[in-house]
Amino acid sequence: MSESKEEKSTRGKQFNQKMKPYLVYDYLMRFTDVNHVATAADIVGYLQECGIEAERRSIYKDIEAINKAVLLTTGSHYTEPKAETIEEAEKLLQDDKEKTIIYDEHRKGFYVRKRHYKVDDVRILAECVYAAKFIDEKRAKRLVNVVCDLVSEHYAEDIRRDTFLLDRAKTENIAIYEMASKISAAMSRKRNKKAHIPEKIRFKYMSYAIQGSLRRTERRKGEWYIVSPYKLLITDGNYYLMGYDDKMKKIVNYRVDRMKDLELTGEPRCGEEEFKELNLEAYLQEHFGMFDGEREHVTIRALNMLLDTFVDRFGTRGVIYAKDDDKHFTAVVPVAVSNQFFGWLCGLGNKVKILSPSPVVEEFKKYLDKMRGLYD
Protein backbone atom coordinates (compact mmCIF):
# COMPACT_ATOMS: atom_id res chain seq x y z
CA MET A 1 0.00 0.00 0.00
CA SER A 2 1.53 3.29 -1.12
CA GLU A 3 1.84 6.32 1.15
CA SER A 4 -0.10 9.48 0.48
CA LYS A 5 1.69 12.80 -0.11
CA GLU A 6 0.55 13.98 3.31
CA GLU A 7 2.00 10.87 5.01
CA LYS A 8 5.32 11.30 3.17
CA SER A 9 5.45 14.96 4.21
CA THR A 10 4.76 14.08 7.86
CA ARG A 11 7.38 11.33 7.81
CA GLY A 12 9.96 13.80 6.47
CA LYS A 13 9.18 16.30 9.19
CA GLN A 14 9.51 13.62 11.84
CA PHE A 15 12.75 12.30 10.36
CA ASN A 16 14.36 15.77 10.61
CA GLN A 17 13.77 15.87 14.38
CA LYS A 18 17.48 15.09 14.90
CA MET A 19 18.30 18.50 13.47
CA LYS A 20 15.90 20.32 15.77
CA PRO A 21 18.18 21.12 18.77
CA TYR A 22 20.87 22.51 16.47
CA LEU A 23 18.37 24.74 14.65
CA VAL A 24 16.89 25.92 17.96
CA TYR A 25 20.38 26.88 19.23
CA ASP A 26 21.26 28.61 15.97
CA TYR A 27 18.01 30.59 15.99
CA LEU A 28 18.49 31.75 19.57
CA MET A 29 22.12 32.70 18.94
CA ARG A 30 21.14 34.81 15.94
CA PHE A 31 18.01 36.51 17.18
CA THR A 32 18.12 36.77 20.97
CA ASP A 33 20.16 38.58 23.58
CA VAL A 34 19.56 40.23 26.95
CA ASN A 35 17.28 42.81 25.30
CA HIS A 36 15.48 40.50 22.87
CA VAL A 37 13.68 37.22 23.67
CA ALA A 38 12.03 34.53 21.57
CA THR A 39 8.92 32.74 22.75
CA ALA A 40 8.38 29.00 22.31
CA ALA A 41 5.81 29.89 19.65
CA ASP A 42 8.43 31.97 17.77
CA ILE A 43 10.80 29.00 17.77
CA VAL A 44 8.10 26.56 16.67
CA GLY A 45 7.21 28.91 13.81
CA TYR A 46 10.85 29.06 12.71
CA LEU A 47 11.15 25.26 12.78
CA GLN A 48 8.01 24.92 10.67
CA GLU A 49 9.59 27.25 8.10
CA CYS A 50 12.55 24.84 8.05
CA GLY A 51 10.17 21.91 7.46
CA ILE A 52 10.18 20.48 10.99
CA GLU A 53 7.09 19.95 13.12
CA ALA A 54 7.49 20.69 16.84
CA GLU A 55 5.40 21.16 19.94
CA ARG A 56 6.07 24.07 22.28
CA ARG A 57 6.85 21.79 25.24
CA SER A 58 9.52 20.00 23.19
CA ILE A 59 11.36 23.31 22.87
CA TYR A 60 11.96 23.33 26.63
CA LYS A 61 13.55 19.87 26.41
CA ASP A 62 15.75 20.96 23.49
CA ILE A 63 17.00 23.99 25.42
CA GLU A 64 17.73 21.86 28.47
CA ALA A 65 19.82 19.54 26.27
CA ILE A 66 21.58 22.52 24.67
CA ASN A 67 22.56 23.91 28.07
CA LYS A 68 24.05 20.53 29.03
CA ALA A 69 25.93 20.27 25.73
CA VAL A 70 27.44 23.73 26.16
CA LEU A 71 28.81 22.79 29.59
CA LEU A 72 30.27 19.59 28.17
CA THR A 73 32.00 21.35 25.29
CA THR A 74 32.92 24.88 26.41
CA GLY A 75 32.62 25.12 30.19
CA SER A 76 30.23 27.28 32.17
CA HIS A 77 32.11 30.58 31.91
CA TYR A 78 34.44 29.65 29.02
CA THR A 79 37.43 29.80 31.36
CA GLU A 80 36.35 27.31 34.06
CA PRO A 81 36.81 23.53 33.67
CA LYS A 82 33.98 22.06 31.60
CA ALA A 83 31.79 19.26 32.87
CA GLU A 84 33.20 15.84 32.03
CA THR A 85 29.91 13.92 32.24
CA ILE A 86 26.23 14.58 31.67
CA GLU A 87 25.66 14.04 35.40
CA GLU A 88 28.14 16.82 36.23
CA ALA A 89 26.44 19.11 33.73
CA GLU A 90 23.03 18.40 35.29
CA LYS A 91 24.37 19.31 38.73
CA LEU A 92 25.84 22.57 37.44
CA LEU A 93 22.56 23.48 35.77
CA GLN A 94 20.74 23.41 39.10
CA ASP A 95 22.19 26.91 39.42
CA ASP A 96 20.55 29.20 36.83
CA LYS A 97 23.77 31.20 36.58
CA GLU A 98 25.36 28.26 34.75
CA LYS A 99 22.74 28.24 31.98
CA THR A 100 23.67 29.63 28.59
CA ILE A 101 20.05 29.93 27.51
CA ILE A 102 17.57 31.09 30.12
CA TYR A 103 13.83 31.73 30.28
CA ASP A 104 12.67 35.21 31.24
CA GLU A 105 9.47 34.91 33.29
CA HIS A 106 8.52 38.56 32.82
CA ARG A 107 8.88 38.64 29.04
CA LYS A 108 7.79 35.01 28.57
CA GLY A 109 10.68 34.14 26.28
CA PHE A 110 14.13 32.60 25.94
CA TYR A 111 17.40 34.37 25.25
CA VAL A 112 21.11 33.60 25.06
CA ARG A 113 22.79 35.15 28.07
CA LYS A 114 26.37 33.86 27.73
CA ARG A 115 28.52 34.29 24.67
CA HIS A 116 32.21 33.93 23.99
CA TYR A 117 32.42 37.61 23.10
CA LYS A 118 30.78 40.72 24.51
CA VAL A 119 29.14 43.20 22.17
CA ASP A 120 31.85 45.77 22.93
CA ASP A 121 34.51 43.18 22.02
CA VAL A 122 32.94 42.61 18.62
CA ARG A 123 32.50 46.33 18.04
CA ILE A 124 36.23 46.85 18.70
CA LEU A 125 37.14 43.97 16.36
CA ALA A 126 35.00 45.48 13.61
CA GLU A 127 36.58 48.90 14.07
CA CYS A 128 40.08 47.39 14.03
CA VAL A 129 39.31 45.63 10.74
CA TYR A 130 38.21 48.90 9.15
CA ALA A 131 41.19 50.79 10.62
CA ALA A 132 43.75 48.34 9.19
CA LYS A 133 45.13 49.83 5.99
CA PHE A 134 46.51 46.47 4.87
CA ILE A 135 43.00 44.98 4.58
CA ASP A 136 41.33 45.85 1.27
CA GLU A 137 37.81 47.25 1.32
CA LYS A 138 36.05 44.12 0.01
CA ARG A 139 37.73 41.85 2.55
CA ALA A 140 37.16 44.37 5.36
CA LYS A 141 33.40 44.26 4.80
CA ARG A 142 33.43 40.45 4.69
CA LEU A 143 35.48 40.19 7.91
CA VAL A 144 33.13 42.59 9.70
CA ASN A 145 30.24 40.30 8.75
CA VAL A 146 32.24 37.35 10.12
CA VAL A 147 32.80 38.95 13.54
CA CYS A 148 29.20 40.16 13.63
CA ASP A 149 28.12 36.50 13.61
CA LEU A 150 29.44 36.37 17.19
CA VAL A 151 26.53 38.50 18.45
CA SER A 152 22.81 38.58 17.80
CA GLU A 153 21.46 40.11 14.59
CA HIS A 154 20.08 43.04 16.59
CA TYR A 155 23.53 44.07 17.81
CA ALA A 156 25.18 43.09 14.52
CA GLU A 157 22.94 45.56 12.67
CA ASP A 158 24.01 48.35 15.04
CA ILE A 159 27.71 47.49 14.64
CA ARG A 160 27.50 47.41 10.84
CA ARG A 161 25.75 50.77 10.87
CA ASP A 162 28.05 52.45 13.41
CA THR A 163 31.40 51.20 12.07
CA PHE A 164 32.06 51.82 8.42
CA LEU A 165 34.78 52.82 5.97
CA LEU A 166 35.20 56.59 6.04
CA ASP A 167 38.08 58.26 4.17
CA ARG A 168 40.52 55.55 5.22
CA ALA A 169 43.33 54.59 2.88
CA LYS A 170 42.99 50.88 2.14
CA THR A 171 45.50 48.77 0.28
CA GLU A 172 44.81 47.96 -3.35
CA ASN A 173 47.33 45.11 -3.27
CA ILE A 174 45.15 42.11 -2.45
CA ALA A 175 48.17 39.80 -2.94
CA ILE A 176 49.30 40.99 0.51
CA TYR A 177 47.59 38.03 2.20
CA GLU A 178 49.34 35.46 0.01
CA MET A 179 52.68 37.19 0.62
CA ALA A 180 52.14 37.26 4.39
CA SER A 181 51.42 33.53 4.22
CA LYS A 182 54.66 32.90 2.30
CA ILE A 183 56.63 34.98 4.79
CA SER A 184 55.16 32.95 7.66
CA ALA A 185 56.10 29.75 5.84
CA ALA A 186 59.67 30.99 5.42
CA MET A 187 59.92 31.75 9.16
CA SER A 188 58.34 28.48 10.28
CA ARG A 189 60.36 25.39 11.24
CA LYS A 190 57.35 23.16 10.50
CA ARG A 191 56.80 23.98 6.87
CA ASN A 192 57.44 20.39 5.86
CA LYS A 193 58.09 17.03 7.50
CA LYS A 194 61.85 17.28 7.12
CA ALA A 195 64.07 19.30 9.44
CA HIS A 196 63.66 22.85 8.23
CA ILE A 197 65.87 25.88 8.80
CA PRO A 198 64.03 29.21 8.34
CA GLU A 199 64.89 30.54 4.91
CA LYS A 200 65.45 33.80 3.10
CA ILE A 201 62.90 35.40 0.82
CA ARG A 202 63.32 37.67 -2.17
CA PHE A 203 60.96 40.25 -3.64
CA LYS A 204 60.72 43.40 -5.74
CA TYR A 205 59.95 46.52 -3.72
CA MET A 206 57.57 49.16 -5.07
CA SER A 207 57.18 52.88 -4.56
CA TYR A 208 55.05 55.57 -6.16
CA ALA A 209 56.37 57.85 -8.89
CA ILE A 210 54.75 60.36 -11.21
CA GLN A 211 55.45 59.31 -14.78
CA GLY A 212 52.78 61.18 -16.67
CA SER A 213 50.44 59.96 -13.92
CA LEU A 214 50.79 58.41 -10.48
CA ARG A 215 52.27 54.92 -10.88
CA ARG A 216 53.90 52.20 -8.81
CA THR A 217 57.50 51.57 -9.86
CA GLU A 218 60.15 49.07 -8.80
CA ARG A 219 62.91 50.35 -6.54
CA ARG A 220 66.60 49.64 -7.22
CA LYS A 221 65.66 49.46 -10.91
CA GLY A 222 63.92 46.12 -10.35
CA GLU A 223 66.76 44.51 -8.39
CA TRP A 224 65.75 41.70 -6.03
CA TYR A 225 65.63 42.46 -2.31
CA ILE A 226 66.98 39.41 -0.45
CA VAL A 227 65.86 39.38 3.19
CA SER A 228 65.94 36.95 6.13
CA PRO A 229 62.44 37.33 7.67
CA TYR A 230 62.05 37.52 11.46
CA LYS A 231 58.80 39.25 12.35
CA LEU A 232 55.52 40.34 10.80
CA LEU A 233 54.30 43.51 12.50
CA ILE A 234 51.25 45.72 12.35
CA THR A 235 51.87 49.38 13.13
CA ASP A 236 50.03 52.55 12.14
CA GLY A 237 47.48 50.35 10.35
CA ASN A 238 50.07 48.81 8.01
CA TYR A 239 51.66 45.34 7.70
CA TYR A 240 55.47 45.33 8.00
CA LEU A 241 58.16 42.70 7.68
CA MET A 242 61.14 43.03 9.99
CA GLY A 243 64.08 41.21 8.47
CA TYR A 244 67.84 41.12 7.97
CA ASP A 245 68.69 42.67 4.62
CA ASP A 246 71.51 40.91 2.73
CA LYS A 247 72.71 44.07 0.97
CA MET A 248 72.50 46.51 3.90
CA LYS A 249 73.75 43.96 6.47
CA LYS A 250 71.29 45.08 9.14
CA ILE A 251 67.71 44.73 10.37
CA VAL A 252 65.38 46.66 8.05
CA ASN A 253 61.58 47.06 7.85
CA TYR A 254 59.51 46.70 4.69
CA ARG A 255 55.84 47.35 3.97
CA VAL A 256 54.31 44.04 2.87
CA ASP A 257 51.76 45.74 0.60
CA ARG A 258 54.67 47.29 -1.35
CA MET A 259 56.25 43.93 -2.13
CA LYS A 260 55.90 42.17 -5.47
CA ASP A 261 56.77 38.69 -6.84
CA LEU A 262 57.75 37.39 -3.38
CA GLU A 263 59.50 33.99 -3.39
CA LEU A 264 61.20 31.66 -0.91
CA THR A 265 64.84 31.19 -1.87
CA GLY A 266 65.61 27.94 -0.06
CA GLU A 267 68.75 29.55 1.41
CA PRO A 268 69.19 29.43 5.22
CA ARG A 269 68.23 32.59 7.07
CA CYS A 270 71.01 34.80 8.47
CA GLY A 271 71.16 37.69 10.96
CA GLU A 272 70.31 35.55 14.00
CA GLU A 273 72.75 37.34 16.33
CA GLU A 274 71.61 40.80 15.25
CA PHE A 275 67.97 39.91 15.90
CA LYS A 276 68.68 38.28 19.28
CA GLU A 277 70.45 41.42 20.49
CA LEU A 278 67.52 43.58 19.44
CA ASN A 279 65.12 44.93 22.08
CA LEU A 280 61.97 44.66 20.00
CA GLU A 281 59.79 46.92 22.15
CA ALA A 282 62.44 49.66 22.29
CA TYR A 283 63.13 49.28 18.57
CA LEU A 284 59.50 49.86 17.62
CA GLN A 285 59.18 52.77 20.01
CA GLU A 286 62.25 54.49 18.59
CA HIS A 287 61.39 54.04 14.91
CA PHE A 288 58.56 56.40 14.00
CA GLY A 289 56.45 54.96 11.20
CA MET A 290 59.25 52.41 10.61
CA PHE A 291 61.71 55.14 9.43
CA ASP A 292 65.38 54.61 10.20
CA GLY A 293 67.69 57.13 11.89
CA GLU A 294 70.49 57.38 14.42
CA ARG A 295 69.31 56.31 17.87
CA GLU A 296 69.63 58.96 20.57
CA HIS A 297 68.29 59.75 24.01
CA VAL A 298 66.76 63.17 23.42
CA THR A 299 65.71 65.55 26.21
CA ILE A 300 62.61 67.57 25.33
CA ARG A 301 60.95 70.36 27.32
CA ALA A 302 57.20 70.75 26.85
CA LEU A 303 54.10 72.38 28.31
CA ASN A 304 52.25 70.28 30.88
CA MET A 305 49.22 70.11 28.59
CA LEU A 306 51.26 67.79 26.29
CA LEU A 307 52.12 65.20 28.92
CA ASP A 308 49.36 62.83 27.77
CA THR A 309 50.53 63.29 24.17
CA PHE A 310 54.07 62.28 25.13
CA VAL A 311 52.92 59.23 27.09
CA ASP A 312 50.74 58.15 24.15
CA ARG A 313 53.68 58.59 21.76
CA PHE A 314 56.57 57.23 23.83
CA GLY A 315 54.98 55.21 26.64
CA THR A 316 56.53 55.02 30.09
CA ARG A 317 59.14 52.27 29.80
CA GLY A 318 62.64 53.58 29.22
CA VAL A 319 61.41 57.20 29.33
CA ILE A 320 62.29 59.63 32.13
CA TYR A 321 59.64 62.26 32.90
CA ALA A 322 60.39 65.10 35.32
CA LYS A 323 58.84 68.39 36.42
CA ASP A 324 60.71 71.41 35.03
CA ASP A 325 58.61 74.25 36.49
CA ASP A 326 54.95 74.88 37.18
CA LYS A 327 54.10 75.02 33.46
CA HIS A 328 56.59 72.62 31.91
CA PHE A 329 57.99 69.10 32.16
CA THR A 330 60.99 67.39 30.58
CA ALA A 331 61.11 63.97 28.96
CA VAL A 332 64.21 61.97 28.08
CA VAL A 333 63.07 59.77 25.23
CA PRO A 334 64.89 57.14 23.12
CA VAL A 335 64.16 57.90 19.45
CA ALA A 336 65.48 57.33 15.96
CA VAL A 337 66.44 60.88 15.02
CA SER A 338 64.96 61.48 11.57
CA ASN A 339 62.87 63.91 9.56
CA GLN A 340 59.85 61.90 10.70
CA PHE A 341 60.71 62.71 14.32
CA PHE A 342 61.36 66.38 13.53
CA GLY A 343 58.08 66.60 11.64
CA TRP A 344 56.24 65.26 14.67
CA LEU A 345 57.86 67.95 16.84
CA CYS A 346 56.88 70.65 14.35
CA GLY A 347 53.28 69.58 14.70
CA LEU A 348 53.47 70.58 18.38
CA GLY A 349 54.71 74.08 17.48
CA ASN A 350 56.25 76.32 20.12
CA LYS A 351 54.94 74.16 22.93
CA VAL A 352 58.06 71.94 22.78
CA LYS A 353 61.82 72.47 22.64
CA ILE A 354 64.74 70.06 22.25
CA LEU A 355 67.25 70.67 25.05
CA SER A 356 69.90 68.06 24.32
CA PRO A 357 72.07 66.55 22.96
CA SER A 358 73.58 69.52 21.13
CA PRO A 359 74.11 67.69 17.79
CA VAL A 360 70.38 66.87 17.65
CA VAL A 361 69.50 70.50 18.47
CA GLU A 362 71.73 71.68 15.61
CA GLU A 363 70.27 69.09 13.25
CA PHE A 364 66.76 70.25 14.10
CA LYS A 365 67.77 73.87 13.43
CA LYS A 366 69.04 72.88 9.99
CA TYR A 367 65.78 71.03 9.36
CA LEU A 368 63.79 74.17 10.27
CA ASP A 369 66.03 76.35 8.07
CA LYS A 370 65.43 74.05 5.11
CA MET A 371 61.69 74.17 5.70
CA ARG A 372 61.71 77.97 6.01
CA GLY A 373 63.91 78.22 2.91
CA LEU A 374 61.14 76.74 0.81
CA TYR A 375 59.13 79.93 1.38
CA ASP A 376 61.88 82.57 1.03
**Model confidence at 175, in pLDDT bands (50, 70, 90)?**
confident
Angle at 288 between CA 183 and CA 319, to 5 degrees: 115
- State phi, psi for 331 to the nearest 5 degrees: -135, 130
Per-chain mean pLDDT for the chain? 83
Helices and strands counted in the chain (H then E):
14, 12
43 residue type, one letter? I
289-302 tens-digit pLDDT: 556 667 889 999 99
> What is the rounded distance in angstroms from the CA atom of residue 319 to the CA atom of residue 282?
10
**Is 79 contained in some domain?**
yes
Residue-range definition of the domain harbouring residue 148:
119-162
> What is the rounded distance in angstroms from the CA atom of residue 317 to the CA atom of residue 300?
16
pLDDT value for 83: 80
Per mean pLDDT, which range of 23-27, 30-34, 187-191 is the poorest?
Answer: 187-191
Neighbours of 17 (CB within 10 A): 14
Q: What is the CATH number of the domain that holds 362?
A: 3.30.70
189-238 tens-digit pLDDT: 554 455 567 899 999 998 877 666 667 789 998 999 999 999 888 777 77
Helix (H) or strand (E) holding 203: strand 199-211
Residue among 294, 289, 308, 276 nearest 338 (CA): 294
Q: What share of the chain has pLDDT > 90, as a percent?
A: 36
CA distances from 135 to 106, 112, 121, 142, 256 (A): 45, 32, 19, 11, 11
pLDDT value for 4: 53
Over residues 179-192, mean pLDDT:
76
Question: Do residues 233 and 319 both lie within one domain?
Answer: no
> What is the rounded distance in angstroms from the CA atom of residue 237 to the CA atom of residue 131?
6
Question: Do residues 258 and 204 both lie within one domain?
Answer: yes
**Model confidence at 167, in pLDDT bands (50, 70, 90)?**
very low
**DSSP code of 334?**
E
**At which of 97, 112, 127 does a domain end?**
112
**Is 167 contained in some domain?**
no
**Is 93 contained in some domain?**
yes
**At which of 162, 194, 222 does a domain end?**
162
pLDDT value for 166: 47
- Please answer whether residues 207 and 219 qualify as being in contact, where contact means their C-beta atoms are separated by less than 8 angstroms: yes
Question: Do residues 245 and 324 both lie within one domain?
Answer: no
pLDDT value for 12: 45
